């Protein structure tokens, strides 16, 4: 803890510049246009194994969305300049979310595999 009487402007003494915010906004808007455009193009699929196919369109769309999310999280929400605790907190949230979806999917994806 700091000495009493010392005031900090914001967390971690770092104020992000408006120029950086503007750059991030520009990237976000471009990414939006990109993801919109990609949805009009059939990107094909990858046949990993019989009965197991990966379609590229949703993968690309989610990848772009995740990138946009990380930009908002790191810069607009200042996580890049935050403590390790904040970064860990964000990671825990994402992890638990993935566990919810992933382990639920262990049921739904494998139902079609039959009894044994």
Partner 1 sequence: MSDSTATANGAVAEVHHEHPSYQRHHFESVEQQFDTTNFAMWLFLLTEVMFFGGLFTSYLIMRNWYYPAFVEGSHQLSIFWGTANTAVLLCSSFTMAMAVWSAEVRRKGMLLLFLGLTFVLGIGFLGIKGIEWHEKWEKSHVPGLRYSEASFLNPASDKEVYKEYHDKPLAPDMAAKTEQYFFLYFALTGMHALHMVIGVGILIFIMVRAKSGAYTSGHVTFVENFGLYWHFVDIIWIFLYPLLYLISRY
Partner 2 sequence: MSAATIVTLPDQSTARIPKMNFLTKENGLLSWLLTGDHKRIATLYLISITFFFFIGGALAGLIRLELLTPQTSLMAADTYNKVFSMHGLIMVFFFLVPSVPATIGNFVVPMMVGAKDLALPKINLLSWYLYVLGGCMMIYTMAAGGVDTGWTFTTPLSTHYLNTNVASAATAVFIAGFSSIFTGLNFIVTIHKMRCPGMTWFRLPLFIWSNYAASILMVLGTPVLAIVLVLVVLERTVHIGVFDPAYGGDPILFQHLFWFYSHPAVYIMILPGFGVISEVISTFSRKRVFGYTAVAFSSVAIAVFAFFVWAHHMFIMGISNYSAIVFSLMTMLVAVPSAIKIFNWAFTLYKGSITFETPMLYAFGFMGLFTIGGMTGVFLGSTGTDIQLTETYFIVAHFHFVMVGGMLMSFLSGIHFWWPKWTGRMYPEKLSQLAALTTFIGFNLTFFPQFILGTLGMPRRYAAYPPEFQALNVFSTAGATVLGVGYLLPILYLTWSLKYGAIAGDNPWQATGLEWQTQSPPLTENFPEIPIMDHEAYDYEWLEKQQQKEVASVG
Residues near partner 2, by CB under 8 A: 1, 85, 92-93, 96, 99-100, 103-104, 106-107, 110-111, 113, 115-116
Environment class of 104 (CB within 10 Å of its CB; exposed 0-12, middle 13-18, buried 19+): exposed
Taking the mean position of all CA atoms in its chain, how far away is CA 19?
A: 23
**For residue 39, what is the DSSP state?**
T
Pick 69 or 99: Cβ nearer partner 2: 99
Q: What share of the chain is helix, strand, coil (3-state, %, to 5)?
A: 65, 10, 25
Binding mask 14-33 for partner 1 (x = CB under 8 A): -xxxx--xx-xx--xx--xx
Cα–Cα distance measured from residue 48 to residue 27, given in angstroms and rounded to the nearest whole number: 33
Q: How far is the CB of 7 from partner 2 (least distance, A)?
A: 18
Can you name the residues that pair with 49 across neighbouring β-strands? 52
The SS3 of residue 49 is strand
Among 101, 106, 113, 116, binds partner 1 (CB under 8 A): 101
Cα–Cα distance measured from residue 65 to residue 50, given in angstroms and rounded to the nearest whole number: 29
Q: How far is the CB of 100 from partner 1 (least distance, A)?
A: 5
Binding residues for partner 1 (CB under 8 A): 1-2, 4-11, 15-18, 21-22, 24-25, 28-29, 32-33, 35-36, 38-42, 57-58, 61-62, 64-65, 68-69, 72-73, 75-77, 83, 85-86, 89-90, 92-94, 96-97, 100-101, 104-105, 108
């Amino acid at each position: 803890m700091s000495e009493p009487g010392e005031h900090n402007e914001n967390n971690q003494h770092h104020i992000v510049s408006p120029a950086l915010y503007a750059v991030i906004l520009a990237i976000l808007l471009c990414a939006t246009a990109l993801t919109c455009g990609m949805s009009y193009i059939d990107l094909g699929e990858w046949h990993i194994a019989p009965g197991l196919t990966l379609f590229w369109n949703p993968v690309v769309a989610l990848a772009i969305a995740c990138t946009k999310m990380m930009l908002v999280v790191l810069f607009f929400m200042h996580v890049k300049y935050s403590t390790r605790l904040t970064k860990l907190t964000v990671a825990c949230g994402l992890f638990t979310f993935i566990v919810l979806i992933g382990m639920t999917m262990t049921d739904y994806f494998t139902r079609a595999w039959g009894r044994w």
